[in-house]
Amino acid sequence: QIMAKERCAVCGNIPLVQIHNPQEYMLCLDSFMRMVNAGDLTIVYQTCPLDEVIKDGKFYQQKLFHQFKCPACGCIYGMYVDATQGGEIKQNDKVFVPQEY
């Protein structure tokens, strides 16, 4: 278990939560999009663009992963969701590099 990095005033508002259903996911997605648009977060990895998560009423794909970095303090957050099972938002220790897996 890695030690959580100290969170700053900007990213300290990000809820580190379990996501139980598509409605919760859309709420989380919406708040991340607002923070990205405001410059409070940077997208560092994504399986699809934030605005394409839902296309024609369907999920872009079953498993979705978006990772964000706080430019103020460097904390990294991952939001992983499986459309059939839910997901979570948690702090990550580094940016995801697919080649490493």
Burial 34-61 (b: 16+ CB within 10 A, else e): ebeeeebbeebbbbeebeebeeeeebee
Mean pLDDT by 10 residues, the chain (101 residues): 75 92 92 95 95 89 96 96 93 87 68
Residue 33: half-sphere exposure toward Cβ, Cα within 13 Å = 11
Quick: pLDDT tens for 42-58.
999 999 999 899 888 88
Q: Which residues contact 13 (CB under 8 A, 6 or more apart)?
A: none
The pLDDT > 70 percentage for the chain reads 95
Q: Whole-model pTM?
A: 0.89
Q: Is 91 exposed, middle or buried (0-12, 13-18, 19+ CB in 10 A)?
A: middle
